[in-house]
Amino acid sequence: MKVYPECLPCFALQALRAANRSTNDESLKWEILIEACRHIATFQQGMKPVEMAEIIYPLVSQKTGVFDPFETVKHETNQHALALYPFFKALVTESDRPIETAMKLAIIGNSVDFGVPQNHLKDLKTETLATLHESLAIDDTGDFLNLLSQSFSLLLLADNSGEIVLDRLLLETIHSHYPDLKITVAARDVPIINDVTLADIKEAGFPSFISAVSSGNRTPGVILEKANKKFLDVYHAADIIVSKGQGNYEGLSDDADDRVFFLLRAKCAIIARHVGVKEGAMIVKKGSVK
């Protein structure tokens, strides 16, 4: 997905939110915002929206000395989701279609996003009870299950903290049906917004039968051209790929093939428009979207 004009003010807002989490110094915030706007004014029309994060967030860190302004929030959301794990697990266990229920939960988990103007999450349990029976606006679940049944290896591209606990549940559920499936989960290389790093995967309590890999990306979404070799080997070898969230969609939607299934909640108007759904909609979408 290419950047839209609408993304530019959003980048400035992201600089502001990160600055607000990093300092109370109004003059420093001013300096950060001015500098952010100066950088934004140099952005090129063909870039992927997530690429801005390589400029904007390091700028805030550099000015404030705060390397990871979302560290606390990540820990809190992970712990919040972990505390609810038995509740989520029971929903899956009691379901007639456990994999589909776990997929839906993993999409609901995608509400935990501090990169968007409104962080939709209040409480994951409340959110789940309110939206679990909502239909998917795009539903390629049938194709997913079909391909899954023929697959030897699965790669999940993780997105946000908190959400990662639901990803774990999805992968555990898939494993219980396909115990021989080789499963890998991919994280960001460095802390960026509340995106998942290898440390979050550890905190989320992933079982040992799931391998974890860093994508090498410093953006809040996988960009293949900027990924590391180890990740690319796993990516190209995987029979089926679960791409979670908006950031991975922004990074991959132009390049995805039919092994890739985008599971996300469309939390911003621009992504909703690009996917062709209403804001807030949940989707399971196969392949590229151009």
- In the complex, which residues of this chain contact a copy of itself (CB under 8 A)? 4-6, 8-9, 12-13, 15-16, 19, 26-27, 29-30, 32-35, 37-38, 40-41, 43, 45
By the 8 A CB rule, do 174 and 145 touch?
Answer: no
Q: How far is the CB of 21 from a copy of itself (least distance, A)?
A: 13
Q: How far is it, in rounded angstroms, from Cα 105 to Cα 6?
A: 30
Distances (CA, A) of 185 to 70, 109, 197, 210, 216: 21, 16, 10, 7, 13
Closer by beta carbon to a copy of itself, 74 or else 267: 267
- Is residue 166 within 8 A of residue 196, CB to CB? The reply is no
Q: Which is nearer to a copy of itself, 33 or 138 (CB)?
A: 33
Is the Cβ–Cβ distance between 40 and 84 less than 8 Å? no
Q: Smallest distance from the beta carbon of 54 to a copy of itself, in angstroms?
A: 17
Q: For residues 40 and 204, which CB has a smaller minimum distance to a copy of itself in the complex? A: 40
Under a CB-based contact definition with an 8 Å cutoff, are residues 127 and 78 in contact?
A: no
Residue 55 or 212: the one with the smaller Cβ distance to a copy of itself is 55
Nearer to a copy of itself by Cβ, of 23 and 101: the residue is: 23
We find the least distance from the C-beta atom of residue 29 to a copy of itself, in angstroms, to be 4
Place of tokens 């409340």: 126
Whichever of 37 and 199 has its CB closer to a copy of itself, that residue is: 37
CB 262 within 8 A of CB 256: yes
Query: Given the structure tokens 């939206």, which residue do they identify?
Result: 131
CB of 137 to a copy of itself, least distance (A): 24
Nearer to a copy of itself, 12 or 232 (CB): 12
Query: What is the nearest approach in angstroms of a copy of itself to the Cβ of residue 45?
Result: 5
* Apex 176 CA angle, 258 and 135, nearest 5: 55
Among 259, 279, 284, 266, residue whose Cα is nearest residue 1: 266
Shortest approach of a copy of itself to residue 91 CB, angstroms?
35
Name the phi and psi angles at 195, rounded to 5. Answer: -75, 155
Q: Tell me the residue type at 181.
A: L
